[in-house]
Amino acid sequence: MIALDPAQLVGTGGAIGALCRTYVSQRVDGETYPFGTLAVNVIGSFALGLVTFAGASEEIVLLLGTGACGSFTTFSSFSFETVRLVEQGESVAAATNAAANLLGSLVAIGVAWFAVRIVLG
């Protein structure tokens, strides 16, 4: 097998992840609450959990884990949107957003772990 350049794997996955994130957040996003970012962060955490716990090869981890899942999910948009909610006087929504992203991500990773255990035994 030809050894692929890690930068190509991470970058290709990253480009795919960024485009998928743009698509999903445009489809989901509400005017009043950043559901789009929450959706990509939960879905991407689940997918990264699957790739990690399934024991995929190093190249698959670089392409799908570091590249695609890493780029699909975002922290900068999350932190910006949370600060904006506080500025707009929506402190409860901001706190809910901070908690929902964290809990959603951790629960998704836990579900991925269970799913891999059930499938792989």
CB-based burial, 62-96: b 16+ in 10 Å, e otherwise: bbbbbbbbbbbbbeebbeebbeebeeeebeebbee
Angle at 50 between CA 48 and CA 52, to 5 degrees: 65
CB within 8 Å of 64: residues ≥ 6 apart: 13, 47, 51, 56
Q: Does 88 bind other proteins (CB under 8 A)?
A: no
Under the binding rule (CB under 8 A), the answer on residue 97 touching other proteins is: no
Does residue 6 belong to the site contacting other proteins (CB under 8 A)? yes
Q: Cβ of residue 67: shortest distance to other proteins, in angstroms?
A: 5
- 14, 34, 61, 93: which one binds other proteins (CB under 8 A): 14
Q: 37-76 mask for other proteins (x: CB under 8 A)?
A: ----x--xx-xxx--x---------x---xx-xxxxxxxx
Interface positions with other proteins (CB under 8 A): 6-7, 10-19, 21-22, 41, 44-45, 47-49, 52, 62, 66-67, 69-80, 82-83, 98, 101-102, 105-106, 108-110
